[in-house]
Amino acid sequence: MKKITLCLTFILSACCAFCATGPGGGKKALRRLVKEASSSSSKTAANAEKILSNLNRGTQGLYSTSTYRHLGQKLEVVMSASPFKKLLNRHQAYQHEINAMTEILPRVMALQADPKPSEVAWAELLIKDQVINQTLSRTLLKLLENEEYAQLSKEISDYYAIPLDRDLESLSKQDLREFVVNSALNYAISHPHKPNLPLRELLKSWKVSQRTKEHLRRFLAIPELLYNNPEEFKKFTRDAYNQHQKGMQQSINAPEVQATISAYNLTLEDLRAFVAKNHRQPMWNAPIKERRLYNTLQLILTRNVTNTFLETETIKRQLRDLLAKYPNRPYYDFLEDFKAFREKHQRLPQSVQERPSASLHERILYDEMIRYMVDGKLTLPLK
């Protein structure tokens, strides 16, 4: 049993690395552990070598074009960063914060008429959780503490360019641009040297010309220039906004961005077909086709720092919603089944690489066993 525990320690380490960094990380962890094990137990090392061999077979083709079966480009194009993706990712990060504050603002404005303690506590929690700019967060919390709700609403409106009197969706493209321009001016005047969030995005955008950025930074650096020439500041902000919006459209049409969206959509189609047929989530411990789908989902849902723009985030949300319809069973249901399997077969469940004839029931048990070991719920040997 001690040898079984040692062997499963190798599996656990590999699975932890796999979940965190993908199959490559799992293989590196196993290679390191194989080297360590060779100095203490030749049989343990041999078992680890066998697991490593299984992992190699299990991930074969993961980084090839065949993983995305309809994609005519290499997987590296889908998972790698590019200037276009970075532009879209940054916009989505800013937009996520703006959307959160858009929901907060009406309730903050309502505090002026009825400052309920529960609403004040809710606003405090949301500001601490959603506002990334720490200086702004401290300012908003101070205004909330001093019960300056009108000024608090104005600060949120100017920094995030959110109208106080109407929905953003009701604005035409031209009206939205002018509102963003005026908000940038108002915030820069009331907060010398500091741009609001939309202006920060324009200043970081590689699609805005350096000349335009230099003019805007000059206004921010010299407040008197801003006070005396507000219309000129608005002109340069308007130019920057137009350049950035044009760049956003070019980015979404970039080949690598379209290839990524296509790959994500095809994975969603594959998952829909799989759950419709099998009524469960795909597993790693499965035949190669199912394993590739599982691996692809891992890449999309856990190794995804280069693809966080709106279109991919929408597809990821659909993938998670679909997987949530087929939840894993509770731990105690698994444990009862796991103990019954061990009592009947006098062994642990095995992977499909170790036991190609393993039944679906055994393969599911194996996946659950590893998952609950990674979660720390299951330890072997059982007492």
Average pLDDT, the chain: 82
pLDDT confidence tier of residue 55, bands split at 50, 70 and 90? very low
What pLDDT is stored for residue 382 in this prediction?
A: 65
What pLDDT is stored for residue 377 in this prediction?
A: 82
Q: Is 136 helix (H, G, I), strand (E, B) or coil?
A: helix
Q: Interior CA angle at 135 toward 129 and 138, to 5°?
A: 60
pLDDT by residue (tens digit) across 148-204?
Answer: 999 999 999 999 999 987 776 666 777 889 999 999 999 999 999 999 999 999 999
- pLDDT reading at 11 higher than 50: no
- pLDDT reading at 27 higher than 60: no
The residue with greater pLDDT, 170 or 121, is 121
pLDDT by residue (tens digit) across 190-249?
Answer: 999 999 999 999 999 999 999 999 999 999 999 999 999 999 999 999 999 999 999 999
What pLDDT is stored for residue 66 in this prediction?
A: 47
Q: Minimum mean pLDDT among 39-43, 180-184, 327-331, 371-375: which range?
A: 39-43
Q: Is 70 helix (H, G, I), strand (E, B) or coil?
A: coil
What pLDDT is stored for residue 97 in this prediction?
A: 93
- pLDDT reading at 5 higher than 90: no
CA distances from 230 to 22, 47, 179, 196, 333 (A): 52, 73, 14, 16, 68
Q: Minimum mean pLDDT among 58-72, 216-230, 327-341: which range?
A: 58-72
The residue with greater pLDDT, 110 or 329, is 110
Nearest to 292 by CA among 24, 10, 64, 53: 64
CA distance 381 to 282: 28
- For 214, the token pair is 């230099």
What pLDDT is stored for residue 18 in this prediction?
A: 43
- pLDDT reading at 44 higher than 70: no
Query: What share of the chain in percent tops pLDDT 90?
Result: 56
- Distance from the Cα of residue 142 to its chain's centroid: 31
